[in-house]
Structure 1
Amino acid sequence: MGHAADHDELHLSRLCLRLHAGRWARGLDGPRRHPLPGDRRRRADPRWLRHAGGFPGTQCPAAAQGDPAKRHRHQASPGGAEVARLHRRRLQFEGVFPRPERADHAHDQVEFPGADFPGSAGIARRRPGECFGGAAGSGVRDTIRRASGGALVLLRRSASSAEHVLPRRLLVLFHSNNVLTTLLKYRIRVQRLFRFSEDHTMLLWGAVVGLVGAFATISFREAIHAVQWMLTGKSGSLVEMGKGLQWYVRLLLPAAGGVAAGIFLALAKRFAVGASSDYMEAVAIGDGNIPVRQSLLRSASSLSTVASGGSIGREGSMVQLAAMAASFIGRITHFDPPRLRLLVACGAAAGLTSAYNAPIAGAFFVTEIVLGSIAMQSFGPIVVASVVANITMREFPGYQPTYEMPAFPAIFGAEVVFFVGLGILCGLASPLFLQLLAYAKRKFQKTKLPLPTRLGLGGLLVGIISIWEPQVWGNGYSVVNSMLHQPWAWTAVLVLLLLKLLATCFTMGSGAIGGVFTPTLFVGAAVGYLFGFGVHDLFPSATSAPFAYAIVGMGAFLSAATSAPLMAILMIFEMTLSYQVVLPLMLACVVAYFIARSIDDTSMYEITIKRNRDAKARLRLRGTRMRDLIKPADTVLPLTASFEEISRMFLEYPVKYVYIVDDENRYQGVVSLQDVTSTLLEKKDVGARPAVEFLRRDFVHVVTPDMSLGEALEHFLAHQGERLPTVESIDNPTLLGVVYKSSLLDAYFKLNRSDN
């Protein structure tokens, strides 16, 4: 327990150093750079530590204290005394010890140039075998302790004594009233008191991330309203705002927003540094690190597109901001990569929950799509983050659900069949929708235009459409609410669906940043409404109103587009809060998912496509048999081969064994290079001795075509060779060729890589 406490306190000191030193330091053992190089500048810096009586635990010769210009040498007392009180208590940074730059190995002394201390000149003696700031021998370790005056000091523990020593690299001493230091101190104390495990701690961090993610979502939503007010003097629904504008404003506003979005996006690409800004990649294949500056610029680009009428969802940037905030929290608190990825997943779940008022669906979205599996160790913190985010959103003034769902009617008898038909239709339409978006992206990329021009062109095309139909603006949730509560003519729904598809393709294809989640729900609602209108017109007494099919169509189309039927079912169920919708919704979502997968292995998210591709490769590798790895055997001789032929074969091929077959190509055994060499060394008369006299029939390490990778590997481990002969079967040992160990290991490597 004591060792863990020392580690926590050392972790605390390093974290304070990284956050507040302001000198680009990287902890006690990392490199550091000073913005004020040179001893003279360091002396002039008032933030350097000044002791009243020299270094802690040192004795200063009285004769040397009066002349600060001279260099003095101090011997560190083994027991250590007490840290001298600091003069400048008001400074946030109480001091930094510079790195020792000269060592006198004859007297085992280290000099710290630039350390201007009253009564000392910066020389400290060390014992042989030890180094400042780290343990040089066994049984020596450094910990951080708090001494009198609220300062942190470095304490060396060894087998014989403990002493206060100078750190080899930067060590910043802080006041104990620093907020972050205090929070981390209490975190350590709570962990000790309640004996929290890592799983318990992640539940608490999930709650913190849920709160932060909700506020990130709220901030982005309010920023959209603020930008709308600045641009048009109106706020609220984009569709209502567009209807109240002049035709030329509807034409130019999306284009101007696209240009601004392109500028922000170009800046974001300039700041791209290795780590991907996409939260899905950061969780699924990365280390959880999401660049803050790049993410903020991309969010500003999305804000410009959404607020100016782009046909794109706003939930993408909301989730991205929540995930970025979680990544930032995890980095400043020094989470390791696995826990950091889980924390980012919690942030993504919090963002989606805040956007759609669906905590269960938000949790399953992350586990089903981003993580790709549901494990309780990761699912627990994600659920906590979703619940806390939803509670926070509900307490915020002006909160209202994104979709206002009507009461779902009861479904009886044969009407369930119509919902299965709706699932088939959505499964057929979903791949077409995704292919249309991909086609638009390819066409815009071929233009080779700069980002601002390309996004401006996409906005201009949306503006042209909005002159006649302003309802193509935005993500379409206000239009969906209108379909669910008011009767629409099927022609109006069809025209709006086609125009909305074009506007979404122009916006997404030009490269705009945003979510495609809500536009997908719009397309599903429109397809469901048209299908429901048709069946209700044919069977008015046996079917429900079209809005019921629109609700189920939203879930079915989302299930097919995202390859996540469970998430789609839970999301629509949470939106309606009606048990009546469960049965038709489940049938439609599952049918749509399988129909879409049978047509094309596409998905709305690239990470899902990659995971599906890896799963197929993994299944293919698991089903690999030796017949897939057989290569021709070149070192084969008949039973009648002479010793000269055998020797020539060994000279031509660098192998250990030559395979011997009979007249019918049945495997008989091997001739070993060792036996041939021994015969030559013993200078025996080989004459015309045939291969059968050198044959080793006890060589039974053979593989068969239907043998699995694991079985073949066991044979290779027993054989300790590079290749093994492959025969038709044990009863019918017809030689088919050889299997090389390198081919087997390559298949295993691919299998393990796909598993990870």
Structure 2
Amino acid sequence: MRQKAAVRVRLQIRRLVRNEHLTLGVLAFAVGIAAAYGALIFRIGVGEIQQVSFGFSLEDIVLEAGGLPWWQIVAVPTIGGLLVGIILQLHGRGRAQGVAHVIEASALQGGRMSLKDGIVSTIVHVMSLGFGASTGREGPVVHLGATLGAWLSQRLSLDRSQSRTLLACGVAAATGSLFNAPVAGAVFAIELIVGNLSLTAGAPIFIAAVTGTAIGRFYFGNAPAFVVPAQELISLWEFPAFALLGVISAAVAIIFMKTIFAVEGAVEKTKMPMWAQPMCGGLLIGVIAVFLPQILGVGYLATDAALRAEFGLQLLLFLIVAKIAAVAICIGFGFGGGVFSPSLFLGAMVGGAFGIIAGGIFPDQFSGVAAYALIGTAALAGAVMGAPLATIFIIFELTGSSTLTVAVMVSTVVASVVIHQFYARSFFHRQLANWGTNLTGGHDQAILRNLLVRNIMRRGYATIEPEGDTHLVHVRIHEAQDGEVYVVGETGGVSGVITYADIEDAVLGREDGAPLDAWAISQPIVDVLLPEDSLESAQAKIAATGRTSLPVVRDRESMELCGVVGELEIARAYNRALLRARAEEHD
């Protein structure tokens, strides 16, 4: 009996070990620990560099920067920019990576990311923020967490679905640890990275988020990042004002993003060497910070002050302009850092300014400047990030306040819809589009980018020599399964294609009764496919030519025919891949 019981126990253990849900849960716990400690080291590194360069920590930068001599405020970001530029020049892979690269890895690369690029990017981000760059720490920490999750999945040779899940686990853990917000971390990873919620993906993501948050709370406590005064809605008549604030927040968000890309494009046109770009940007940041030190660093203290309605209208407007310029200069000139903290900063300033103006016009129907500052924070950040649901959770967990729930939701949704309709889904999707990567079709459309022509091309096609007569053309076209015959010369190069319509046109258009050969009947090849082309590219080329299929050639020089790909083959391959992906995600 004991022997049988031992066998049953061993069998149960084997089933548990082979259970995908259990395995991913354990791996998610490990990624959560790694990402949380990565975020911890990131924050400590930034603080230590701040202590050396400015003489105080990042958290006190607004309070202390005003007491520094002007030359130090200018020199610190300039010298820091030089060091950052040298690292980027030596690495030779362009600028530091961020959230956009994580989205791209999830959608197009099956959750694969380079550990070396991730480490170098983290060093650049830490140094940039340590020397006062006017950017955020959230994006870099998210990228670091994703890199660690991707590295583990590559070491274990996990499949595409599992790799994407661990990538998202790293994102959720890093976000939860940084914001002390487990729900927001999980929702952010699901909304922006994975794109869907299933048991196989969702459970590990929540495990990682909770793990990261627990470790973050152990080291940094459970207090919210911002202390917001008690709020309450005064009147339902304010809801049109909340919607209008959403529209204004979207407009400022568009200006913010366009300014960043404009500066980035202008810097690239100067042909300035990589090592010099951040240094020049640091000099400009230092000059601005002499007059407005609030723009240095992540800006949490300035955001907190705006949420408590401590700034006047004139200062709020100055800070909006200065922060947009500072972030655009930092990112445009090659500093590291993200855009979430700047979005919170700008949202608080925009909301505060709107609240002051609205309160002056309708003093009896007014919930207070602090309320509008909080609503603006969520609206603008949600619009920039392209993750309104996650942003709403982040705001609640950052502030510990839920009394303005409906107002925050209205303004955030309006801002996100306006951004989506008139500019882009998010800052990151616009960034990817500028690099030539289009994710507007979502994760399902991205499947076509991972499939190659060589894997689906049809080798059963009909051919004919250029001198073949009309009778032979009729015979070959009847044998062809798609009603097309390709004209191929002695060297194997394709030069034309014949369809039923081409034969009819040639016969009806012949006036002298002279015999026709295949070359005379055929239509020239408008475009061709290569075996290494993606199905997305193939689909676009077929649509552009107006045909139902295109020939595949080994190379464009020889034009040697090696296959044919049509709309039917693409549709079948897409459906198979889509079903396989869905099965992996929902098993």
| TM norm structure 2 | 0.72
**Contact 1:267 1:297 survives alignment (8 Å):** no
**Contact 1:369 1:608 survives alignment (8 Å):** no
Cα offset, 1:403, TM superposition:
2.4
Question: 2:37 maps to which residue?
Answer: 215
Aligned positions of 1:305-384 closer than 5 A: 305-384=128-207
Aligned with 1:291 (options 114, 126, 149): 114
Cα offset, 1:399, TM superposition:
6.3
Given the superposition, is the C-alpha separation of residues 262 and 205 from structure 1 closer, same or farther in structure 2, using an over 3 Å criterion?
A: same
Aligned with 1:432 (options 215, 232, 255): 255
Q: Does 1:614 align with 2:422?
A: no
Aligned with 2:79 (options 236, 243, 256): 256
Given the superposition, is the C-alpha separation of residues 214 and 250 from structure 1 closer, same or farther in structure 2, using an over 3 Å criterion?
A: same
Cα offset, 1:750, TM superposition:
9.2
Distance, in Å, in 1 between the alignment partners of 2:63 and 2:14 is: 56
Distance, in Å, in 1 between the alignment partners of 2:323 and 2:249 is: 17
Aligned with 2:104 (options 253, 270, 281): 281
Given the superposition, is the C-alpha separation of residues 191 and 507 from structure 1 closer, same or farther in structure 2, using an over 3 Å criterion?
A: farther
**Per-residue deviation, residues 636-686 of structure 1 (Å, max 9, x unmatched):** xxxxxxxxxxx957758953299xxxxxxxxxxx99x9xxxxxxxxxxxxx
Structure 1 unpaired stretches of 5+ = 1-187, 622-646, 659-669, 674-721, 724-740
Question: 2:67 maps to which residue?
Answer: 244
Deviates more, 1:592-601 or 1:402-411: 402-411
What secondary structure does 2:236 align onto? coil
Cα offset, 1:505, TM superposition:
0.7
Give 1:498's aligned amino acid.
V
What secondary structure does 2:409 align onto? helix
C-alpha RMSD of the superposition:
3.3
Distance, in Å, in 1 between the alignment partners of 2:577 and 2:12 is: 40
Structure of higher RCO (CA pairs closer than 8 Å, 6+ residues apart): 2
Distance, in Å, in 2 between the alignment partners of 1:361 and 1:270 is: 32
Distance, in Å, in 1 between the alignment partners of 2:17 and 2:117 is: 38
What secondary structure does 2:335 align onto? coil
Question: 1:679 maps to which residue?
Answer: none
What secondary structure does 2:271 align onto? coil
Distance, in Å, in 2 between the alignment partners of 1:396 and 1:197 is: 34
Distance, in Å, in 1 between the alignment partners of 2:219 and 2:369 is: 34
Question: 2:226 maps to which residue?
Answer: 403
Aligned with 1:394 (options 200, 209, 217): 217
Indicate the structure (1 or 2) with the bigger Cα radius of gyration. Answer: 1
Structure 2 unpaired stretches of 5+ = 1-9, 449-468, 481-499, 504-547, 550-563, 582-587
Question: 1:514 maps to which residue?
Answer: 337
Question: 1:231 maps to which residue?
Answer: 53
Cα offset, 1:587, TM superposition:
1.1
Question: 1:164 maps to which residue?
Answer: none
**Contact 1:239 1:470 survives alignment (8 Å):** yes
Distance, in Å, in 2 between the alignment partners of 1:277 and 1:494 is: 30
What secondary structure does 1:543 align onto? coil
Q: Does 1:590 align with 2:417?
A: no
Aligned with 1:478 (options 286, 294, 301): 301
Distance, in Å, in 2 between the alignment partners of 1:608 and 1:351 is: 22
**Contact 2:119 2:144 survives alignment (8 Å):** yes
Question: 1:445 maps to which residue?
Answer: 268
Give 2:28's aligned amino acid.
G
Question: 1:98 maps to which residue?
Answer: none
**Contact 2:259 2:325 survives alignment (8 Å):** no
What secondary structure does 2:235 align onto? coil
Given the superposition, is the C-alpha separation of residues 612 and 296 from structure 1 closer, same or farther in structure 2, using an over 3 Å criterion?
A: closer
Aligned positions of 1:553-568 closer than 5 A: 553-568=376-391
Cα offset, 1:479, TM superposition:
0.4
Aligned with 1:551 (options 348, 369, 374): 374
* Greater per-residue helix proportion: 2
Cα offset, 1:309, TM superposition:
0.9
**Contact 1:268 1:293 survives alignment (8 Å):** no
Aligned with 1:192 (options 8, 14, 17): 14
Distance, in Å, in 2 between the alignment partners of 1:651 and 1:397 is: 79
**Contact 2:303 2:348 survives alignment (8 Å):** yes
**Per-residue deviation, residues 484-524 of structure 1 (Å, max 9, x unmatched):** 12432101100111111111110011122211111111111
Cα offset, 1:746, TM superposition:
6.6
Distance, in Å, in 1 between the alignment partners of 2:93 and 2:309 is: 48
Given the superposition, is the C-alpha separation of residues 749 and 475 from structure 1 closer, same or farther in structure 2, using an over 3 Å criterion?
A: farther
Aligned with 1:467 (options 264, 286, 290): 290
Given the superposition, is the C-alpha separation of residues 486 and 197 from structure 1 closer, same or farther in structure 2, using an over 3 Å criterion?
A: same
Given the superposition, is the C-alpha separation of residues 396 and 616 from structure 1 closer, same or farther in structure 2, using an over 3 Å criterion?
A: closer
Given the superposition, is the C-alpha separation of residues 394 and 657 from structure 1 closer, same or farther in structure 2, using an over 3 Å criterion?
A: closer
Question: 2:25 maps to which residue?
Answer: 203
Give 2:46's aligned amino acid.
I
What secondary structure does 1:613 align onto? coil
Cα offset, 1:753, TM superposition:
10
Q: Does 1:530 align with 2:357?
A: no
Give 1:550's aligned amino acid.
A
Question: 1:146 maps to which residue?
Answer: none
Given the superposition, is the C-alpha separation of residues 269 and 345 from structure 1 closer, same or farther in structure 2, using an over 3 Å criterion?
A: farther
Distance, in Å, in 1 between the alignment partners of 2:17 and 2:443 is: 43
Cα offset, 1:189, TM superposition:
10
Distance, in Å, in 2 between the alignment partners of 1:193 and 1:302 is: 43
**Per-residue deviation, residues 69-88 of structure 1 (Å, max 9, x unmatched):** xxxxxxxxxxxxxxxxxxxx
Question: 1:135 maps to which residue?
Answer: none
Cα offset, 1:618, TM superposition:
6.0
Q: Percentage identity across aligned positions?
A: 28
**Contact 2:100 2:432 survives alignment (8 Å):** no
Distance, in Å, in 1 between the alignment partners of 2:341 and 2:252 is: 16
Given the superposition, is the C-alpha separation of residues 277 and 577 from structure 1 closer, same or farther in structure 2, using an over 3 Å criterion?
A: closer
Cα offset, 1:449, TM superposition:
1.4
Q: Does 1:490 align with 2:317?
A: no
Distance, in Å, in 2 between the alignment partners of 1:754 and 1:189 is: 34
Given the superposition, is the C-alpha separation of residues 397 and 489 from structure 1 closer, same or farther in structure 2, using an over 3 Å criterion?
A: closer
Distance, in Å, in 1 between the alignment partners of 2:359 and 2:250 is: 21
Aligned positions of 1:115-126 closer than 5 A: none
What secondary structure does 1:352 align onto? helix
Cα offset, 1:346, TM superposition:
0.3
Give 1:614's aligned amino acid.
G
**Contact 1:407 1:576 survives alignment (8 Å):** no
What secondary structure does 2:158 align onto? coil
**Contact 2:88 2:94 survives alignment (8 Å):** no
**Contact 1:525 1:553 survives alignment (8 Å):** yes
Question: 1:576 maps to which residue?
Answer: 399
Aligned positions of 1:405-424 closer than 5 A: 405-424=228-247
Given the superposition, is the C-alpha separation of residues 461 and 399 from structure 1 closer, same or farther in structure 2, using an over 3 Å criterion?
A: farther
**Per-residue deviation, residues 541-587 of structure 1 (Å, max 9, x unmatched):** 21111111111111111222222221122222223333322111111
Given the superposition, is the C-alpha separation of residues 204 and 442 from structure 1 closer, same or farther in structure 2, using an over 3 Å criterion?
A: same
What secondary structure does 1:401 align onto? coil
**Contact 1:617 1:754 survives alignment (8 Å):** no
Question: 1:183 maps to which residue?
Answer: none
**Contact 1:618 1:754 survives alignment (8 Å):** no
Cα offset, 1:213, TM superposition:
1.3
Cα offset, 1:238, TM superposition:
2.5
**Contact 2:278 2:333 survives alignment (8 Å):** yes
Distance, in Å, in 2 between the alignment partners of 1:612 and 1:259 is: 34
